[in-house]
Homo-oligomer: A and B are copies of this chain.
Amino acid sequence: MASSTLQASKDSNSMANAYADEPWSDRTLSNYIVRAEHPFNAEVRLDKLVEDFVTPTDKHFRRNHGPIPNINGAEWSMSVEIGCSAASAKSCTKTIRLEDLVSLRQFEVVAVLECAGNRRDGLKAIKPVNGVIWGPGTASNSRWGGCRLRDVLVAAGVPSNLCDPFYETPRHVEFAAYGEASDDVHYASSISLEWVMNPLNMVLVATEMNGKPLCRDHGYPARIVAPGLIGARWVKWLKYIRVQDKESDNFYQKRDYKILPPMANGGNCEEFWPQFPALMELNIQGVICRPTAEERLCVDKPYLVRGYALSGGGRAVDRVEISLDDGNTWDLASLYTMHAKGKESDNQSQRDWAEKQWSWVLWSYRIDNVPANCNIACRAWDSGGNKQPSAAVWNYRGVMNNAVFRVQPQTTSSAHSRL
């Protein structure tokens, strides 16, 4: 069994002690392609990923930068600090426990979580990159529940009104995680205070995933959910939340998760890190999940191509196009998505265009007669007029690859398949 094999190899690892308490029983390994055991990094098999509009927890990708903390929820607390000086905010520190989070108004949001390194393999194919080599299986779309981070901050003394002079200066909210991380004393990251305080952005201190308490791999007992932003900002196992005048100084904010220009490589990155911003909003993305490259299609038979598409910042996926002729002509796929108040729909014209979109879109496209030489490409467009680029552009950290997705499945002649 795959799980035992992983356990065995783990014991030979010099970090064995740090990883002695991993939640293996919560990991349905048959749903995943495991890219690294320590830290545990596993993407979802594409055929599994597209089976559900709301991704079940055991099919949600798992991305870690260290051992999984084992936290007793009853004993857990985090601090909330107002660390910037302004007349309208009192500098203070509050201790928050699980019961405090539950006492605030509870919200739910179906939001897609995507790792900025999703499809890093496509950039590695151009030139070596730094990071876990992911395929296209690090995006998942679960239902997150908890209180709004905004409400936690207001309770701690942050002015609730965005017209307050407090907001005339750009400010940041830093989150740090319990546990160790590979590249810094702990994992930490920040996003802008202005983004957090807009209640319609639905930034949560989440305590539930798909109606149950978070599992350990997903940040038990409390994590950030930041719809529309890259996964690296959805900090898990919260240790502290701090409102401050500058962004996080942590490795994962300042020296990772940035698109560096093509001349930046391992040796000369120091000059480039400060010149480019920490990634926040996801870009337009679309992936073909079925067929996979390994799948065998029957020539002249129909086939239903399926996949996912998503964008960042609340922008909606407006269309997904399919090409069967290397991008010369494109036809429209059918979209299935989630609109206002959590209503699922397969009809774009029922949308209210004023609404922000946090969920992914699943799409399908019927090929009536599979050709012998079957090349399929998908290209998604978002409501900001952005589309997937025809070719990937390499960057050192291998992030944000959203090039047109292409797959060339194997084919079998119908006659042969009947044998």
- Interface residues in chain A, defined as those with a beta carbon under 8 Å from any beta carbon in chain B: 160-163, 167-172, 192-194, 198-200, 246-247, 259, 261-263, 274-284, 312-313, 315-316, 318-319, 321, 329-332, 340-341, 348-349, 351-356, 381, 383-387, 389-391, 393, 399-400, 402
* Contact A400 B385, beta carbon cutoff 8 Å: yes
Q: Which residues of B contact A318 (CB under 8 A)?
A: 259, 276-277
Distance (whole angstroms) from the CB of A356 to the closest CB of chain B = 8
* Contact A354 B386, beta carbon cutoff 8 Å: no
* Contact A349 B275, beta carbon cutoff 8 Å: yes
Q: Which residues of B contact A170 (CB under 8 A)?
A: 340, 352, 354-355
Q: Which residues of B contact A385 (CB under 8 A)?
A: 259, 279, 281-283, 312, 399-400, 402
* Contact A390 B389, beta carbon cutoff 8 Å: yes
Distance (whole angstroms) from the CB of A404 to the closest CB of chain B = 10
Given A247-B353, A389-B389, the answer on whether A162 and B199 have CB atoms closer than 8 Å is: yes
Q: What number of copies of this chain does the assembly contain?
A: 2
In Å, the complex CA distance between A391 and B404 comes to 13
User: Which listed residue (B161, B283, B313, B353) contacts A277, Cβ 8 A?
Assistant: B353
Name 7 A/B residue pairs within 8 A (Cβ), A-sorted. A170-B354, A192-B355, A261-B319, A277-B316, A277-B351, A279-B385, A281-B385
* Contact B198 A384, beta carbon cutoff 8 Å: no
Distance (whole angstroms) from the CB of A322 to the closest CB of chain B = 11
In Å, the complex CA distance between A278 and B353 comes to 8
Distance (whole angstroms) from the CB of A183 to the closest CB of chain B = 20
* Contact B390 A284, beta carbon cutoff 8 Å: no
* Contact B387 A281, beta carbon cutoff 8 Å: no
Question: Which B-chain residue is minimally distant from A167 (CB atoms)?
Answer: B200
In Å, the complex CA distance between A181 and B103 comes to 55
Q: Which residues of B contact A383 (CB under 8 A)?
A: 277, 279-281
* Contact B384 A193, beta carbon cutoff 8 Å: no
Q: Which residues of B contact A386 (CB under 8 A)?
A: 283-284, 384, 386
In Å, the complex CA distance between A348 and B275 comes to 6
In Å, the complex CA distance between A171 and B352 comes to 9
* Contact A349 B274, beta carbon cutoff 8 Å: yes
* Contact A263 B331, beta carbon cutoff 8 Å: yes
Q: Which of A162, A192, A329, A391 has the most CB of B within 10 A?
A: A162
Q: Which residues of B contact A261 (CB under 8 A)?
A: 319, 321, 330, 332
Additional pairs, 7, CB under 8 Å, beyond known A261-B330, A274-B349, A280-B383 = A162-B200, A262-B330, A277-B316, A313-B313, A385-B399, A387-B393, A389-B389
Given A281-B383, A354-B172, the answer on whether A276 and B319 have CB atoms closer than 8 Å is: yes
In Å, the complex CA distance between A145 and B321 comes to 42
In Å, the complex CA distance between A275 and B193 comes to 35
Q: Which of A161, A172, A281 has the most CB of B within 10 A?
A: A281
* Contact B354 A193, beta carbon cutoff 8 Å: yes
* Contact B163 A199, beta carbon cutoff 8 Å: yes
Distance (whole angstroms) from the CB of A134 to the closest CB of chain B = 16
In Å, the complex CA distance between A287 and B401 comes to 24
Question: Which B-chain residue is minimally distant from A331 (CB atoms)?
Answer: B263
In Å, the complex CA distance between A1 and B402 comes to 52
Q: Which of A279, A316, A381, A385 has the most CB of B within 10 A?
A: A385
* Contact B274 A312, beta carbon cutoff 8 Å: no
Q: Which residues of B contact A329 (CB under 8 A)?
A: 262
In Å, the complex CA distance between A329 and B161 comes to 47
Q: Which residues of B contact A282 (CB under 8 A)?
A: 384-385
Distance (whole angstroms) from the CB of A145 to the closest CB of chain B = 17
